[in-house]
Structure 1
Amino acid sequence: MRTPDLYLRSIGVHLPPVVGIETAVAEGRYPADEVEYFRLGGAAVAGDVPAPELALRAARQAFERSGGLSPRELDLMLYSDVWHQGPEGWEPQYYLQQHLVGGDVLAVELRQGCCGLFSALQLTAGYLRPGGTALLVGADNHGTPLVDRWRMIEGAVMGDAGCALLVTTDTGFAELRSINVTVLPEAEAVNDGGVPMFPPDATVGRPLDFAARNREFRKRLIAGDGAEVMLAIQKTLLELVDRTLTEAEITLDEVARVAFPHGRWDDLENRGVNWLGLTMADTTWDYGAGIGHLGVSDQFVALDHLLTVGALAAGDHVLLVGLGAGTTMACAVLRILDVPPEYASGGPA
């Protein structure tokens, strides 16, 4: 999907303090024998700060960086998440409406897994009219009784964060050149682990354990039931990246950096980097390994980090790639128009 006249005006990030992997090992939370192989640094841990509060703090920073946009002048707010946000029967976007943007804006929660912010961007591209502004937020706090952040995903750990994007149709520091989100329906069961759909996990206290589900799928893969699915995922992802680059009118050689989900390094290398002919140095994996998989926010928090450390300059293109349950795949191309002063002066990540 080509996205003419759609810009990132600003990014806001609230990243809690990082708990190092050594601390997790010392506390018996992370297996000591996996440290060397998986090369993880730690996870951002929000403690008892609710996810909507992480989103609110990120959104406030986005407005502070926006050069004068008012929260009360929004045309759209989309709130993306992957994990429970607060009381059942309550919607997290209402918290931001109460404390920041007011009640006149269309505000919707999106549950699109780890590709949620990509879906929000695509919906925004179809919704905004000239002069319009949208706030896209993503937030998760995984520190709950049904999640073991240190062992839920083999080779990765779960971090917490709030992320906010202000998207406009007139001007910004980066131009969204193209975005695409697609679903491979035949891979819907990749992450189900054979767990019953009813009653839902949270209502019966069943923990979320992707490591166990992945082991179950690998058994099916060895038995021959999943090989075609994996080939279809590879084919679909490569086609998606190629289409998005073509719509952005660039080639992969013209991309300065690539941001993937913050997953295990060997999966990324074998199922993403190698497929595209990249190297790990082309990606933001090293940064992600130090803060954990943030649910919906990985690629956009990584973009903020690249700007903060001076790794991007005007004219650079950034490729963002998303993979999520469903199986959902997403891809976007951004062109940096100007590095905002808060980054040029060494602003906070």
Structure 2
Amino acid sequence: MKINGVFIDSLGVHLPEWVASAEAEGASDYARGEFAAAGLKGTHVAGDVPAADMAVLAARSAVTRSSAQLEAIDYHVHGSVYYQVPEGAYAPAYVLRELGAGEIPSLDVQQGCNSMLGGLEAAIGQVTGVAKRNNVLITTATNFSTPLINRWGDFGTSSIFSDGAVAAVVNGRGGFAEVRSLASGTLHSLEQWHRGEESLLPPDGSDRKYFNMGERSQYFVDNVMGFAELFEKFGKFDLGIINEAIVDAGLTSEEISKVISINVDKRMTEHALMRPLGIPMDRLVWEYGSSVGHAGGADIFITLEHAVRTGELVPGDHVLMTSQGPGWVCSATVLTIGELPAW
């Protein structure tokens, strides 16, 4: 969809302690070698700092940098990836209470690694629709520090799970970036890819099963759909979504100045994204993200914040951002950088 009059006013990031992939405890020598070949330099580990608390820290930073005061925030979208709060509790309410925000409406977007773009899509509707919200806060955070997950190997060696948080303030008045378009979709024929053979029934009282996304994915490949068909399906689907976003922005792929995608093996991004779009690899904003790790839905906005703050993005740049999540969901947005913010 073509977007008019929606802007990203500010961004806030919180990243905990950094750990180099070459020095990772729990990673095999083979995995370390594969990370090096993929260009993945490290990740961030939060330890006993909850994801929801990191979301609060990122939100405080975003609000401090925003042209709006905290009391002017009138809607909140939180993206849940992995564990946020105990079952039956509500993560957005925790974030808002800790932040000291007003008693405003909120939404929990459970789109996994697509959660920030899913949140942006919801925010666009709130700003441009009948609600006419003034300032929408979007947050997401992850903490994979649990014995139930091996961040160094549970999803192969094409990415490393990372802990961290990001927040954005979106409005209809102005900001450093204008949202030109956003496209999204759900390829539900791949829903079982991230579910595997897990039961849909409530827990039966037995010990919680080790959370291994790689095992679920392998079950799907072995029993439902082979690799070749799987990659063909989601590759074609993702490129359709991305091209829709570019066209709706009134641009061509040649006019895209920079591309920001999730933090995975650079070779995968080149073959699955950049080459099919005909965009040179030197337009991929990747170097910083290669040391951040894959922090769920936060990746692309963490990279955006860094690229704006360090001057890698400049006024006039057209930026394509894309992410994916379980389901299989994919979203893409095109931003135009209007100015460099004070921060």
| Alignment TM-score, normalising by the size of structure 2 | 0.91
Mapping 1:138-153, distance limit 5 Å: 138-153=140-155
Query: The residue matched to 1:272 in structure 2 has which SS?
Result: helix
Task: Provide closer, same or farther for how the CA distance between residues 233 and 90 of structure 1 changes in structure 2, counting only shifts above 3 A.
Answer: same
Task: Provide closer, same or farther for how the CA distance between residues 296 and 131 of structure 1 changes in structure 2, counting only shifts above 3 A.
Answer: closer
Structure 1, 94-103 or 239-248: larger mean CA deviation: 94-103
Give, in whole Å, the separation in 2 of the partners of 1:49 and 1:309.
27
Give, in whole Å, the separation in 2 of the partners of 1:101 and 1:290.
32
Does 1:136 pair with 2:138? yes
Q: Residues 151 and 160 of structure 2 are in contact (CA less than 8 Å); yes or no, is this contact kept in structure 1?
A: yes
The alignment's C-alpha RMSD in Å is 2.1
Q: Residues 80 and 109 of structure 1 are in contact (CA less than 8 Å); yes or no, is this contact kept in structure 2?
A: yes
Deviation at 1:33, TM superposition (A): 4.0
Deviation at 1:85, TM superposition (A): 1.0
Among candidates 165, 171, 178, match of residue 162 of structure 1: 165
Query: The residue matched to 1:290 in structure 2 has which SS?
Result: helix
* Matched residue, 1:29: 27
* Matched residue, 1:335: 336
Query: The residue matched to 1:326 in structure 2 has which SS?
Result: coil
Amino acid at match of 2:316: G
Paired-residue identity, %: 30
Give, in whole Å, the separation in 2 of the partners of 1:202 and 1:336.
52
Deviation at 1:218, TM superposition (A): 4.0
Query: The residue matched to 1:297 in structure 2 has which SS?
Result: helix
Does 1:93 pair with 2:96? no
Mapping 1:1-349, distance limit 5 Å: 1-24=1-24, 27-30=25-28, 31-67=31-67, 69-128=68-127, 129-130=131-132, 132-155=134-157, 156-199=159-202, 204-219=207-222, 225=226, 227-342=228-343
The runs of 4+ residues in structure 1 deviating greater than 6 Å are none
Residues 180-229 of structure 1: per-residue CA shift (max 9 Å, x gap): 110011111222233333345997421221222333344458xx656444
Task: Provide closer, same or farther for how the CA distance between residues 94 and 173 of structure 1 changes in structure 2, counting only shifts above 3 A.
Answer: same
Give, in whole Å, the separation in 2 of the partners of 1:202 and 1:12.
40
Runs of 5+ unmatched residues, structure 1:
343-349
Give, in whole Å, the separation in 2 of the partners of 1:46 and 1:193.
28
Give, in whole Å, the separation in 2 of the partners of 1:251 and 1:334.
13
Residues 83-120 of structure 1: per-residue CA shift (max 9 Å, x gap): 11122222122222222243421022211111111111
Kindly tell me the number of residue pairs found equivalent between the two proteins.
337
Query: The residue matched to 1:136 in structure 2 has which SS?
Result: strand
Deviation at 1:75, TM superposition (A): 1.8
Give, in whole Å, the separation in 1 of the partners of 2:66 and 2:262.
26
Structure 1, 141-150 or 327-336: larger mean CA deviation: 141-150
Q: Residues 148 and 210 of structure 2 are in contact (CA less than 8 Å); yes or no, is this contact kept in structure 1?
A: yes
Query: The residue matched to 2:5 in structure 1 has which SS?
Result: coil
Deviation at 1:34, TM superposition (A): 2.7
Give, in whole Å, the separation in 2 of the partners of 1:314 and 1:134.
23
Give, in whole Å, the separation in 2 of the partners of 1:201 and 1:255.
51
Give, in whole Å, the separation in 2 of the partners of 1:278 and 1:154.
27
Residues 14-40 of structure 1: per-residue CA shift (max 9 Å, x gap): 11121111220xx34343443432332
Deviation at 1:308, TM superposition (A): 2.2
Amino acid at match of 1:105: I
